[in-house]
Amino acid sequence: MIIRLNGRSIRAPWTQDTSGRLLLSEAAFTQVLGGQLLSTNDPQQQPVAWFSNPETPIATLLAQRLGPIRYLDITPLAQQLGWVLQPTGDSLSLITPSSKVTAVRAEKQPWGDRITLDLDFPTPFQLDPQAKTLEVSLDALTDGSPGPGLQHLPDPTRSSPNPTRTLLRWPATLSQRPQVTMLANPPRIVLDINAPSPSREIQWAPGVRWKQQAVALAAQPINLQWLELDPRTPGLRLRPVIPNGPEIAGTAALATTANQAGAVAAINGGYFNRNNQLPLGAIKLDNQWRSGPILNRGAIGWDDNGRFSFDRLTLQETLVTPTTRTPINFFNSAFVQGGLSRYSGEWGKTYSSLSDNEIALSVEGNKIGTVTELPTAGSNLTLLPSSNVLIARANRTLASTLTPGTSATIESTVSSEVGNLPQLVGGGPLLVKNSAIVLDAAAEKFSPAFIQERAARSAIGRTASGNILIVAAQPLGGGKGLTLGEIAQVMQQLGCVDALNLDGGSSTTLYLGGQILDRAPRSSARVHQAIGVFLTP
């Protein structure tokens, strides 16, 4: 779908209902028009701000969810503001009254820079944070004269690719995400770079509440974005989501993965190897182990009846022959260690050896079957849906005793209840258990560097009421992020009685209804898996 904003084509979702009303996705309303969503307790009534008092909505728009996208009826707002709307096929023409930038002003604030764009009439605008610049595009004329108060800032670069559009650029990093306020009388856009986010709560759908808040940790501000989910809501369910479906290897941007799966919301999941794009932790989907747990790290498991469990998890397996009992270190895992590991058809159609000189031994009908040498890393072995293959690493003596025809059975058990649930994602470390902080990253064998670092954090938790929180915590520009202890405290303060840390840093991403909530989309790294939120119908 295309929105032709004052003649300029922008790809964004929109639709028209049977009564002729025109609806924009809320992402299009905020990112294309510059509108803002205000707090609401009604998922079908969305107050919005657009060059109005930030505390007083200019209008309350009807909202409806179509699939994973929430749409806003902009027809009455367009009439109120003098916009001309004309749908043609998959294109929506949106013409707004002409406007002019009358001044660009800047001043220092305790958090950073405040930039104010004075206008003679309200106009749409778009923000585009890039690696080293912040771009602001306005459907407005400018005279190109320097603005007052910019002495401490490099003058913005100005360009006008067409006579009714102004493009302004300021030096800024991707992490220096501005908070935007649109004011009236006179109309102006205020960009507060590095300012904390204002608090906001939006009942986005039944069972899905979107919250935003800024907190101060270790004298640095942190922006929190989180979703509070009520798993008792009819039609709401959570699932692990993998980008490549039947294949275990591969990464993608979280928004891409969520969109392909049809999820209304998602947060990045557990750890993975960025080189071979394979998981380093547990993933269980519909009672099938796509990847096994490692190193007794924390995990979350759940079912569709509202049962959730948080705990450290080990999958304990043993190969039993007439003369030996040999531990199987890992199941369907990219974690490499000497000894035996086991792979099934849930790993994918192919197993590619993860180290040199591996030996593959199939187990067929409780006997050792085919023995295959895998001389170099990357050697491929076909896996069938029924495959059960043992990989011997750095232990040729053990492999030599497992000859074809040897009787062989596999005993399997899990260390805690979490491993018995049909849906499961591993992360770590475990943060909160039974309302107490139980953080012990060393016991989960995380490295000293990982334990000590500050970073953006993703986490999932359960409240005393049984609701689930998926949380993204991002430092403001220049900040180094949170320690593991701090994210544990945050989850406890948000009311979690159980909580688990997920992969963080550049992986930290929270998605809702077609948009990334916590960071500039281009700053979001590709991830291996996600926890998706689905609503039906």
* DSSP code, position 491: H
Strand extents, DSSP E, 2-90: 2-5, 8-11, 14-16, 22-25, 36-37, 45-49, 59-66, 69-73, 84-88
Q: How far apart are CA 317 and CA 68, in angstroms?
A: 40
According to the model, what pLDDT value does residue 152 have?
Answer: 42
Strand extents, DSSP E, 400-455: 409-414, 423-426, 430-433, 436-437
Rounded to a whole number of angstroms, the CA Rg of the chain reads: 26
According to the model, what pLDDT value does residue 177 have?
Answer: 78
Same domain, 370 and 428: no
Terminal CA-to-CA distance of the chain, rounded, Å? 23
Using the predicted structure, report yes or no on whether residue 145 has a pLDDT greater than 60: no
Same domain, 301 and 389: no
| Cα–Cα–Cα angle for 165, 166, 167, rounded to 5 degrees | 125
Query: For 264-289, how does the pLDDT look when each residue is reduced to its tens digit (9 = 90+)?
Result: 999 999 999 999 999 999 999 999 99
**Cis ω before 429 (30° cut-off from 0):** yes
Using the predicted structure, report yes or no on whether residue 36 has a pLDDT greater than 70: yes
Same domain, 262 and 330: no
Same domain, 429 and 410: no
User: Which residues are CB-neighbours of 2 under 8 A, at least 6 positions away?
Assistant: 9, 10, 11, 12, 90, 91, 92
Using the predicted structure, report yes or no on whether residue 243 has a pLDDT greater than 70: yes
Same domain, 506 and 473: yes
Of 282, 301, 303, 304, nearest to 291 by C-alpha is 282
The CA-atom distances, in angstroms, between 244 and each of 247, 308, 529 are 5, 26, 9
- Mean pLDDT for the chain overall: 92
Distance of CA 387 to the CA centre of its chain: 33
Distance of CA 537 to the CA centre of its chain: 23
Number of domains in the chain: 4
Q: Which of 163, 193, 223 is the last residue of a domain?
A: 193
Same domain, 283 and 372: no
Percent of the chain with pLDDT over 70: 96
Q: How far apart are CA 14 and CA 18, in angstroms?
A: 14
According to the model, what pLDDT value does residue 399 have?
Answer: 87
Containing structural domain, residue 179: 100-193
Same domain, 328 and 431: no
Partnered with residue 37 across adjacent β-strands are: 48
How much is the pTM?
A: 0.93
Residue with the bigger pLDDT between 90 and 130: it is 90
How many Cβ atoms sit within 10 Å of the Cβ of residue 15?
17
The encoded tokens of residue 209 equal 């509440």
Using the predicted structure, report yes or no on whether residue 159 has a pLDDT greater than 60: no
According to the model, what pLDDT value does residue 397 have?
Answer: 87
Of the listed ranges 129-143, 260-274, 404-418, 468-482, the least confidently predicted one is 129-143
The encoded tokens of residue 251 equal 């990464």
144 phi-psi bin (left φ>0, alpha ψ -120 to 50, beta other): left
Q: How far apart are CA 68 and CA 205, in angstroms?
A: 10
Using the predicted structure, report yes or no on whether residue 376 has a pLDDT greater than 60: yes
What CATH number has the domain bearing residue 362? 2.60.120.1140
Contact in structure between 371 and 360 (CB atoms under 8 Å): yes
**Cis ω before 54 (30° cut-off from 0):** no
Same domain, 254 and 293: yes
Q: How far apart are CA 85 and CA 414, in angstroms?
A: 59
What's the whole-number mean pLDDT along residues 293-312?
98
Contact in structure between 265 and 533 (CB atoms under 8 Å): yes
User: Which residues are CB-neighbours of 333 under 8 A, at least 6 positions away?
Assistant: 279, 280, 291, 292, 294, 341
User: Which residues are CB-neighbours of 53 under 8 A, at least 6 positions away?
Assistant: 183, 184
What's the whole-number mean pLDDT along residues 459-487?
94
Same domain, 307 and 400: no
Same domain, 148 and 291: no
Read out DSSP for 259-305?
Answer: HHHT-SEEEE-S-EETTTTEESS-EEETTEEEE---TT-EEEEE-TT
Same domain, 399 and 422: no
Same domain, 460 and 372: no
Q: Which of 193, 210, 241 is the last residue of a domain?
A: 193
Q: Which of 128, 163, 193 is the last residue of a domain?
A: 193
According to the model, what pLDDT value does residue 193 have?
Answer: 87
Q: How far apart are CA 126 and CA 32, in angstroms?
A: 6
Q: Are strands 59-66 and 45-49 parallel, antiparallel or unpaired?
A: antiparallel
Residue with the bigger pLDDT between 141 and 76: it is 76
